[in-house]
Amino acid sequence: ERTFRPLKADDARGKMIAPLVDAGDARTRAVHQILRDYVAGDVDAMAKLGRRLFFDRRLSQKQQRACADCHQPERAFSDGLSAPRSLTPGVTLRRNTPTLLYADLNAAQFWDGRVASPERQALGVIHNRAEMGASPATVLRRLRASRTYSDAFARLFADGIQLANVG
């Protein structure tokens, strides 16, 4: 039988980050560690970096698409289409763009549940040739070439710009 307990980590404004979590599984323990690390950091700077990445087209192969192009804030972080446009001619994307609202509360990501976290989901889309199509090397090279990104990642992550810190 699973037990539930309140999460103790608070954000910078003293609000509870997650009111209830399953205390018994490995994923929850990992989330607790991430939240402890996250809360210990600069929450405002992390949000600003995430926002900048979300709207940055450098994360796509030909720099023509950002996360926000399909997950439009004014459309509840979706695009209102039955199937999004592919970047690859002849390739049809079969599923609509899901909202990002509360995505971190989903048990799994993508419509088929193939990844466990929004961070891994984001990297999957960035590297998928039909969606954003940028290789890991391209993403890292472009971000590292930016002084703004280099400085922001260095302040927030001990290992700087790494794929695990981008997603």
33 neighbors 2 (Cβ within 8 angstroms): no
Give dist(CA 65, CA 85) in Å, integer.
Answer: 11
139 neighbors 96 (Cβ within 8 angstroms): no
The catalytic position among 1, 74, 119, 131 is 131
Tokens 């990501």 — which residue? 109
User: What are the backbone dihedrals phi and psi of residue 72, each rounded to the nearest 5 degrees, phi first?
Assistant: -80, 120
Give the number of other Cβ atoms within 10 Å of residue 103's Cβ: 15
Give dist(CA 112, CA 167) in Å, integer.
Answer: 19
131 in active site: yes
Q: Would you state the torsion angle of the CA atoms of residues 105, 79, 130, 67, taken in this order, to the nearest 10 degrees?
A: -60
Residue 65 has, within 13 A of its CA and on its CB side, a CA count of: 22
Residues annotated as part of the active site: 131
